[in-house]
A = this chain, B = another copy of it.
Amino acid sequence: MKRVAGVVYANRVVISVAIMLCAGLCVGLRQAMADEGMWLFNNLPKQLLRERYGFEPSDEWAQHVMLASVRFSTGGSASFVSSRGLVITNHHVGSDVLQKLSTPERNYYRDGFYAKTLEEELPAPDLELNQLVSIEDVTERVRAAVRPEMSPAEAAAARRAAMATIEKESFDRTGLRSDVITLYGGGRYHLYRYKRYTDVRLVWAPEMAAAFFGGDADNFEYPRYCLDVCLFRVYEEGKPAKTEHFLRWSEKGAADGELVFVSGNPGRTRRIYTVAALKHQRDVRLPLMLDLLRRREILLQQYGLEDEEAQRQAQEDLFSVQNARKAYTGMLLGLQDPRFMAAKEHEEESLRRRLSESPQLAKFAKAWERIAQVQQRRAEIIRQTATFRSQLYQIAETLVLLAQEDTKPSAERLREFRDSARPSLLQQLFSPAPIYPELDRTLLADSIALFVERRGGDHPLVAAVLAGKNPQERAAELVAGTQLADVEVRKRLAEGGLAAVTNSSDPMIRLALEMNAEYRRLRQIEEELDEIEQQAYAEIAELRFALYGTTTYPDATFTLRLSFGPVKGYVENGKPVPPWTTLGGAFAHEERHQARPPWKLPESWHRAKDKLDPDTPFNFVCTADIIGGNSGSPVINKNAEFVGIIFDGNIQSLTADYFYSDEVARAVAVHSSAIREALEKIYHADRILDELGK
């Protein structure tokens, strides 16, 4: 499962989603079952692990794994694998950087890259890696800010202010990125402190054809044969960072049946969702998302028809969109299964029956109704947006909001503009990564056309947006007229504050100003709805704690979690699917498809074929509970050794958003042995092999 880059038409920060299709419906909401769980590092299921696997992770073990884990700001996971800042992640997590570093002349994304020396390592233009260094429970402080008499809007503002204040205090005191994370849908608030690495350099990446062998067709399928891996290095003060905590490379990888762990940042799950909220996903949100994804997929395909250079520009975005489309399709299929919804309804009814057991519990009864009401309001506004999917427009919008928000104290601002988030925000805003005007114009034109469709051509805001032209002409005029491709212009506007922005004659800024009131109106509504839901889910979480205890895990929040489970094959259509594939199998897979793209291995592989050990394990599956955002997560053994790296889930795993199953759903990883074998015999990356040890 690749990162769902863009979670299309969402705003800014982007995380991955994936999901599972379960043949034998086993909705494990009441108590984590089998190997279910994306566990908090400060609340690991030690007893469960001891009882089931005879292994209890020590605090030191957990602390070591946490510090060896890394999060990609672009939406993926990774880990340190040397003491000199070497970071391993998926090719498809690094792809954003590979794309940004590529030029018409050097297509690293397609052709791969290897820095033979430290000096050749290529700085990523705007990447930020986060290393989680501490967790603190701040639930009481956040809760105290919200008083019962407050309206949802007031409560949301008060909560936002409390969180921003906690974050600012922490940031001022420690200099660390400080994020208050909402857990259990609002049941708990934890302060996560991260060390930020912003000097990140590309070390090595294989060819696209090896990393994404089988392409969109094989995506979410198994057996698989992908070297979906690349290497970066973090630097501090111009030198490789010293990374005390890193994962040692396992000599043999994991054996069939062996317990393994996955340490990464699952993006988002919805396992706590009420039936009403799930039905909103099924009947409203997912169908709409899929329409948008398919629209974008066709648009990018069409753009790429022009010539090879256009194809290069659109490729990475296209793959991300295809990945998301395939993931959401499976997700929706799961939701549309009557058996799934019946099981969820049954579970919810059981829980709600418990409400009558005691007066303390009865007070929670309204939570479900409030959530149901929120779904209705969401459905009413879901087609209203007030932004455009174009990089240049997004920059304009950010500049306008930044100038406006900065006139307020940090705690009162929209969340992404708070002081403690400023370094990360500016790194993105001032990114020197290339913006392709033709591509951006194409995206903007389509986005404007979509806006016209959704509001209807007679809407007054539509008239303002179009300014008398059709969407194509208007987009062309905006992209040709704006200066925002120039980072210096952005910096001047950001420094100039509100006056600079409001007096700007840049057409993209003017458009963002035009949209501003509507944008804020929608944000306000969303914040209110989120707040109502958060309060309701917090009550449901409290109810669950009261009934089932606190040995449970919260829904995924793109923060560090630990999952576990054995390496284990499964049965599909009556046939056993073995837990791993081999390098030799990749060549056989190519042959089965007559080497038609996307089943054409790179030339480098064919050159090295005779030297490769065909029995080297290549990809493997385990039952660990993962989802989008886990891409690039290290798979480790009990000794915290690196045995592989997560890069996908099989098609049966595509409803993990809503429930876990270990019957046939599996996480898919690249085996550590295949990575070494390829680095040695295909890519001749000797200095890296030395660094990895053994």
Please state if B336 and A471 are interface contacts (CB–CB under 8 Å): yes
Please state if B333 and A449 are interface contacts (CB–CB under 8 Å): yes
Q: For the complex, is A490 an interface residue (Cβ under 8 Å from B)?
A: no
Give the most central of A279, A282, A453, A472: most B CB within 10 Å. A453
Please state if A472 and B333 are interface contacts (CB–CB under 8 Å): yes
Please state if A294 and B298 are interface contacts (CB–CB under 8 Å): yes
Given contacts A305-B216, A336-B452, A471-B336, contact A297 B298 (CB under 8 A): yes
Q: For the complex, is A291 an interface residue (Cβ under 8 Å from B)?
A: yes
Which residues of A308-339 have CB atoms within 8 Å of chain B's CB atoms?
308, 325, 332-339
Chain B residue nearest to A329 (CB atoms) is B449
- Range class of the A interface residue count: 35 or more
Count of chain copies = 2
Q: Mark A452-485, 1 if CB is under 8 A from B, else 0.
A: 1100111000010010111110000000000000
Q: Mark A434-460, 1 if CB is under 8 A from B, else 0.
A: 000000000000000100110011100
Q: For the complex, is A149 an interface residue (Cβ under 8 Å from B)?
A: no
Please state if A295 and B306 are interface contacts (CB–CB under 8 Å): no
Please state if A449 and B305 are interface contacts (CB–CB under 8 Å): no
Contacts of A470 in B (CB 8 A): 333-334, 336-338
Given contacts A333-B471, A336-B449, A470-B333, contact A325 B306 (CB under 8 A): no
Q: Mark A652-691, 1 if CB is under 8 A from B, else 0.
A: 0000000000000000000000000000000000000000
Contacts of A258 in B (CB 8 A): none
Q: For the complex, is A257 an interface residue (Cβ under 8 Å from B)?
A: no
Contacts of A62 in B (CB 8 A): none
The distance from the CB of A392 to the nearest CB of chain B, in whole angstroms, is 21
Contacts of A458 in B (CB 8 A): 279, 283
Please state if A335 and B216 are interface contacts (CB–CB under 8 Å): no
Given contacts A306-B217, A336-B449, contact A341 B457 (CB under 8 A): yes
Chain B residue nearest to A297 (CB atoms) is B298
Q: For the complex, is A24 an interface residue (Cβ under 8 Å from B)?
A: no
The CA of A298 and the CA of B329, in the complex, are separated in Å by 12
Please state if A457 and B216 are interface contacts (CB–CB under 8 Å): no
Chain A interface mostly helix, strand, loop or mixed? helix
The CA of A217 and the CA of B310, in the complex, are separated in Å by 13
Q: For the complex, is A496 an interface residue (Cβ under 8 Å from B)?
A: no
Among B297, B453, B468, B471, which residue has its beta carbon within 8 angstroms of that of A339?
Answer: B468
Contacts of A298 in B (CB 8 A): 294, 297-298, 325
Contacts of A463 in B (CB 8 A): 338
Q: For the complex, is A287 an interface residue (Cβ under 8 Å from B)?
A: yes
Contacts of A593 in B (CB 8 A): 307
Given contacts A279-B457, A449-B332, A471-B336, contact A295 B305 (CB under 8 A): no
Which residues of A276-314 have CB atoms within 8 Å of chain B's CB atoms?
279, 282-283, 287, 290-291, 294-295, 297-298, 302, 305-308
Please state if A453 and B295 are interface contacts (CB–CB under 8 Å): no
Among B332, B341, B457, which residue has its beta carbon within 8 angstroms of that of A335?
Answer: B457
The distance from the CB of A256 to the nearest CB of chain B, in whole angstroms, is 30
Q: Mark A366-398, 1 if CB is under 8 A from B, else 0.
A: 000000000000000000000000000000000
Contacts of A308 in B (CB 8 A): 596
The CA of A357 and the CA of B39, in the complex, are separated in Å by 79
Contacts of A468 in B (CB 8 A): 338-339
The CA of A463 and the CA of B339, in the complex, are separated in Å by 11
The CA of A600 and the CA of B551, in the complex, are separated in Å by 63
Chain B residue nearest to A598 (CB atoms) is B305
Contacts of A282 in B (CB 8 A): 456-457
The CA of A458 and the CA of B291, in the complex, are separated in Å by 21
Please state if B457 and A336 are interface contacts (CB–CB under 8 Å): yes
The CA of A452 and the CA of B329, in the complex, are separated in Å by 13
Chain B residue nearest to A454 (CB atoms) is B287
Besides A298-B298, A338-B463, A338-B468, 15 other CB < 8 A contacts? A217-B306, A282-B457, A283-B457, A287-B453, A290-B295, A291-B294, A291-B295, A294-B294, A307-B593, A333-B472, A336-B449, A336-B471, A337-B470, A338-B457, A341-B457
A-B contact pairs, 18 of them (CB 8 A): A216-B302, A279-B457, A282-B456, A283-B458, A290-B295, A291-B294, A291-B295, A294-B297, A294-B298, A298-B298, A335-B457, A336-B449, A336-B452, A336-B466, A336-B470, A337-B469, A337-B470, A341-B457
